[in-house]
Amino acid sequence: MDPITRLEASIAQARPVIAGAPLSSYGDPTPCTDWDVRGLINHMLGALTMFFDVATQGEVDPTLFTRDLVGDDAVAAYDAIGAEVVAAWRVKGLDGNAVLPFGEFPAMFALQLPAMDQVIHAWDLATATGQQVAWDDALVAETAAFCQATFADPAMRGHDFGPSVEVPDGASAIDRLAGYLGRTPLGAAV
């Protein structure tokens, strides 16, 4: 699928996971040790907002990730920015480059980053809140292929993704992806 369609599919995959996170869990830890549940949702909103800004303004507000984007209704906030970012990229298109805070990249490549971000953080959020998710197999497979091509060099993983961890035999595709990105899936030896 093209990057805009993949972004739209990743938002559709993550939305019910955000909706399924009870307010009482917002202070709970997540597999992303820098964030609790609320902070992780805020990051997911921030990633979409960043790519909306790139599509519509060509630059990103440097204070973006310091702001509370969740507000009183995380699902409403997610629905709004999800629709806006997809619409903005349908107008902008995939020609040319996208200037991100960490470099300039072809738009075809750059737009795969927020799609990947939504998928893996939906896994993080589902894990943190104990949700069972029906994963879109095609989306997970395309996300895994992108990650394996992009993060094969451990130096490219940065702070967000650790070294790959082993996953149990028979692990689901999403758990294999999570393990590839340094998460310890449920049932894996720690």
Instruction: Answer yes or no: is 80 within a domain.
Output: yes
Percent with pLDDT over 90 in the chain: 77
pLDDT of residue 107: 94
Stated pTM of the model: 0.93
Count of domains for the chain: 1
Q: Which domain holds residue 106?
A: 3-136
**Mean pLDDT (whole number) for 10-21:** 99
Nearest-5° angle of CA 37, CA 188, CA 136? 60
Instruction: Answer yes or no: is 190 within a domain.
Output: no
Instruction: Answer yes or no: is 15 within a domain.
Output: yes
Quote the longest CA-to-CA distance of the chain.
46
Instruction: Answer yes or no: is 171 within a domain.
Output: no
Measured from the Cβ of residue 134, the count of other Cβ atoms closer than 10 Å reads: 7
Banded pLDDT at 44 (limits 50, 70, 90):
very high
Instruction: Answer yes or no: is 159 within a domain.
Output: no
Instruction: Answer yes or no: is 184 within a domain.
Output: no
CB 17 within 8 A of CB 133: yes
pLDDT of residue 160: 73
Cα gap 78→32, rounded to integer Å: 19
Predicted confidence (pLDDT) per residue in 129-179, tens digit: 999 999 999 999 999 999 999 888 776 766 678 788 888 899 999 999 999
- Look up the CATH number of the domain holding residue 132: 1.20.120.450
